[in-house]
Structure 1
Amino acid sequence: MTYEEIWRRLTAVNEQGEAKAIARMLLEEKFDMSLADILCGGVEQLPAADVEWLEQAVSRLEHQEPIQYVLGWAWFCCHRFGVHTGVLIPRPETEWLVDRAVAIAKAAGGRQLRILDIGTGSGCIAISIKKALPEAYVEAWDISDDALAIAAANAKELEADVRLCRRDALSAEAGAERWDIIVSNPPYICDSERVDMDANVLDHEPSTALFVPDADPLLFYRAITRYALAALNEDGHLLFECNTRYAEATAAMTKSEGMGSADVADDCFGLPRFVDAVR
């Protein structure tokens, strides 16, 4: 097998430029090859066991499985997180939530904060916050046992002391706990948007972490906002990643429910994707 053979096989399901990029990423990430190594025949020098793995990996990619699942990891906030089909693949735009939480914490002047991540998935948000703010207490919730197991493995691997809990965002009731920051990237893609999505997402990433009914696109945001109103400390922040179609509506909803203010922020692609609401 050669590099050219790999990317040509991938053109069956990708444009040529993307096929080449995926092939390079596979070889660079898995075998630590430089571009020079790849172009100078590094693939042909792999031992038999690696060639066997590579053949299976290319076959999975031909079936449009995301490369992060094929590799078994994805990068987020400069940390490598284990991922497989039980959790969403971390996206670079989501790093805004971590950056904003860290900025809020630093503006608090070093006070030890209590931070909650609702719908943690792989744990990428909660763990990245803990790595940046080791003095903070960080807790993360998910309803999926698979997700919690993956998040626990990532927390152990990255040596992040994050408390993981099985709790449902739609039925969360505030108890004695109080938070300074609540962050969430909940399901927000409407069922009707499925037709515009790529097969590698639809066929492989968990639908329960992606979709909400068309009739109630703010389903999770409303439930989490109501919990936050009861559980946030005064001047506490509620940080959301949103469907870009509904970012303004999400901000308006948080204010109508009782938040004191809510600002919309753009993602790295210039699209309105985040809400920062303050109690």
Structure 2
Amino acid sequence: MKIKQYRTQFIKELAPLYDAYEAESFFYLILENKHRLRQIDLALNHELFFSDEDFTVWNSLLKQLKNEVPIQYLLGKTSFYGLDFEVNEHVLIPRPETEELVEWIITENAPIDKTKKLKILDIGTGSGCIAISLAKNLPNADVYAIDVSKKALETAKRNALNNKVDVTFMFKNILDLEIMKYDYDIIVSNPPYIRNLEKEEIRKNVLDYEPHLALFVEDNDALIFYRKIASLAQKNLLKNGQLFFEINQYLGKETVELLEKMNFKNIELRKDIYDNNRMISASFK
């Protein structure tokens, strides 16, 4: 079958789950990743066709997409802040909102004096997208990253290697720490923050396939990670150090109040591109 004909069939079969634009974007993502062909190549050559082996691969991918497996997991990679990252079932798929958090940190800390070193800690690193993006764009920074999942750390280490940056990864449960070994100029975290009561809002492709360990918290203590990380930041932030969080959009006010009660200063709550409360910055000393 000609690729152009299969494209029509592919989009039609995904129509009950995805709009035409999203289904078409899936088609071209797979086409480029599996065949090194772009949309323009297909437009210029209508006679391109799939072999029987190609059909087997494509039909398997189509079946999984119809089961709402995230396309990033099917391809084994995604882009974040201009870099390529391996992703799998052990790590969350990086979101555009998290790119905004990274942009905020980089903008605030772009080196004027390149001889001044920064020490940065990313808590709950997952794929390593935050830590690696910061290491890539803040060459004066020594970057450290913590996660409770060994499988996630293995993925993050491969991503650091592939993106040619040095990050020190540590296997730790942040909830078990009372004080950290080093002091930091910046502590950043995108911790679990979705309450169980919000599960009905979560799409099947997230709920069924992304790691719940990195997503959900109990309804009766939704800010458990923020409170713990802020407590550690009180002890381990250097003078004029900064704390950055990605947060639950419904708990912006509560997160600000938590930081105020813990005597943090210069607290700033920011919205993301979707106009949701999504990021907080604060300082302690």
Corresponding residue for residue 158 of structure 1: 163
Give yes or no for the alignment of 1:45 onto 2:49: yes
How many correspondences in the alignment? Answer: 279
Describe the superposition over 1:10-31 as per-residue Cα deviations: whole angstroms up to 9, x where unpaired: 1242233332232233223443
Q: Kindly indicate whether the alpha-carbon contact (under 8 Å) linking 2:42 and 2:48 is maintained by their aligned counterparts in 1.
A: no
Alpha-carbon distance, 1:75 to partner: 0.4
Opposite residue 146 of structure 2, the aligned amino acid is W
Counterpart-to-counterpart distance in 1, 2:47 and 2:235? 57
SS of 1:269's equivalent? coil
Counterpart-to-counterpart distance in 2, 1:150 and 1:194? 26
Q: Kindly indicate whether the alpha-carbon contact (under 8 Å) linking 1:97 and 1:183 is maintained by their aligned counterparts in 2.
A: no
Counterpart-to-counterpart distance in 1, 2:186 and 2:277? 21
Corresponding residue for residue 11 of structure 1: 15
Corresponding residue for residue 58 of structure 2: 54
Give yes or no for the alignment of 1:94 onto 2:114: no
SS of 1:245's equivalent? helix
Opposite residue 83 of structure 1, the aligned amino acid is V
SS of 1:20's equivalent? helix
Say what the alpha-carbon RMSD is for the aligned residues: 1.9
Q: Kindly indicate whether the alpha-carbon contact (under 8 Å) linking 2:111 and 2:138 is maintained by their aligned counterparts in 1.
A: no
Corresponding residue for residue 64 of structure 1: 68
Counterpart-to-counterpart distance in 2, 1:79 and 1:213? 33
Question: Which residue among 222, 232, 256 is the counterpart of 2:237?
Answer: 232
Q: TM-score, normalised by structure 2?
A: 0.92
Counterpart-to-counterpart distance in 1, 2:76 and 2:252? 32
Q: TM-score, normalised by structure 1?
A: 0.93
Corresponding residue for residue 152 of structure 2: 147
Counterpart-to-counterpart distance in 1, 2:8 and 2:45? 10
Corresponding residue for residue 104 of structure 1: 108
Alpha-carbon distance, 1:261 to partner: 2.5
Q: 1:72 to 1:175 in 2, by over 3 A?
A: closer
Corresponding residue for residue 196 of structure 1: 201
Describe the superposition over 1:153-201 as per-residue Cα deviations: whole angstroms up to 9, x where unpaired: 1111111100000111222222441000000000011101111111101
Describe the superposition over 1:183-241 as per-residue Cα deviations: whole angstroms up to 9, x where unpaired: 00000111011111111010000011111111111111111100111100111100000
Counterpart-to-counterpart distance in 2, 1:160 and 1:256? 37
Give yes or no for the alignment of 1:263 onto 2:272: no
Q: Which moved more, 1:215-224 or 1:17-26?
A: 17-26
SS of 2:267's equivalent? strand
Corresponding residue for residue 185 of structure 2: 180
Opposite residue 274 of structure 1, the aligned amino acid is M
Q: Kindly indicate whether the alpha-carbon contact (under 8 Å) linking 2:180 and 2:232 is maintained by their aligned counterparts in 1.
A: no
Q: Kindly indicate whether the alpha-carbon contact (under 8 Å) linking 2:194 and 2:216 is maintained by their aligned counterparts in 1.
A: yes
Counterpart-to-counterpart distance in 2, 1:113 and 1:17? 42
Q: Kindly indicate whether the alpha-carbon contact (under 8 Å) linking 1:131 and 1:160 is maintained by their aligned counterparts in 2.
A: yes
Counterpart-to-counterpart distance in 1, 2:111 and 2:132? 20
Q: Kindly indicate whether the alpha-carbon contact (under 8 Å) linking 2:111 and 2:140 is maintained by their aligned counterparts in 1.
A: no
Q: Kindly indicate whether the alpha-carbon contact (under 8 Å) linking 1:251 and 1:277 is maintained by their aligned counterparts in 2.
A: no
Counterpart-to-counterpart distance in 1, 2:253 and 2:45? 51
Q: Kindly indicate whether the alpha-carbon contact (under 8 Å) linking 2:267 and 2:281 is maintained by their aligned counterparts in 1.
A: yes
Question: Which residue among 60, 76, 79 is the counterpart of 2:80?
Answer: 76
Describe the superposition over 1:29-72 as per-residue Cα deviations: whole angstroms up to 9, x where unpaired: 44332223345666952455444322221121111000100110
Q: Which moved more, 1:40-49 or 1:217-226?
A: 40-49
Question: Which residue among 269, 276, 283 is the counterpart of 1:278?
Answer: 283
Q: Kindly indicate whether the alpha-carbon contact (under 8 Å) linking 1:114 and 1:180 is maintained by their aligned counterparts in 2.
A: yes
Alpha-carbon distance, 1:6 to partner: 1.2
Corresponding residue for residue 244 of structure 1: 249
SS of 2:249's equivalent? coil
Corresponding residue for residue 129 of structure 1: 134
List runs of 5+ in structure 2 lacking aligned partners: none
